[in-house]
């Protein structure tokens, strides 16, 4: 019997904790015997989407590519975990519409907290105008309206967020109980 595949789509601003939580989820899924693959936005940009910039059109192309690969994986019984800012609601909804099973995970965090946490100083540079088209500062980020899972990395610990996510995925039948 083939396991049911699913795309678990992490969205949120840069530095919110998408990849951190996604990587932990991948390990839990593997520990529970599931086939799982992760597509991280930064890694995809280096390989699958090399040459794309940060215009709206290029961002949309990048998200469509990630969605396409996730759909291929999920159709074949794999848990496909995507971690990408994916700032535009319409393109996230377009990707969702191409999947049989899609779980949107919004990792929310305020610009103030992200600026405070930012070890690379990207938010400070974006806020001062040094970096153009920075999502959430000089480029829009459209929050999901009804994500299946809302994680608040400003008020929750990583452990609390991960526990909430795992519980929801168990409830939806995407992860076997521990």
The answer to whether residue 49 is domain-embedded is: yes
Predicted pLDDT of residue 2:
58
Cα dist from 150 to 18, 49, 61, 68, 125, whole Å: 11, 28, 25, 24, 28
The answer to whether residue 154 is domain-embedded is: yes
Catalytic residue among 14, 49, 83, 86: 86
69 φ/ψ angles, rounded to the nearest 5 degrees: -65, -45
pLDDT in tens, 54-68: 888 988 999 999 999
Total domains, the chain: 1
pLDDT in tens, 109-122: 999 999 999 988 99
Residue 84's CATH number:
3.40.50.300
Tokens of 142: 């459209």
Is 49 considered catalytic here? no
């Amino acid at each position: 019997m083939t396991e049911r595949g699913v795309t678990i789509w992490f969205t949120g601003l840069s530095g919110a904790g998408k990849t951190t939580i996604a990587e932990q989820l991948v390990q839990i899924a593997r520990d529970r015997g599931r086939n799982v693959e992760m597509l991280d936005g930064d890694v995809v940009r280096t390989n699958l989407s090399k040459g794309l910039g940060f215009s709206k059109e290029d961002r949309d192309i990048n998200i469509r590519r990630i969605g396409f690969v996730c759909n291929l994986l999920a159709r074949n019984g794999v848990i496909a975990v995507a971690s990408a800012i994916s700032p535009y609601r319409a393109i996230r909804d377009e990707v969702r519409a191409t999947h049989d099973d899609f779980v949107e995970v919004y990792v929310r965090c305020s610009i103030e907290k992200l600026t405070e946490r930012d070890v690379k100083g990207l938010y400070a540079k974006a806020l001062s105008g040094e970096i153009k088209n920075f999502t959430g500062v000089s480029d829009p980020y459209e929050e999901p309206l009804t994500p299946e899972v809302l994680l608040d990395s400003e008020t929750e610990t990583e452990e609390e967020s991960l526990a909430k996510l795992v519980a929801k995925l168990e409830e939806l039948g995407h992860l076997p109980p521990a």
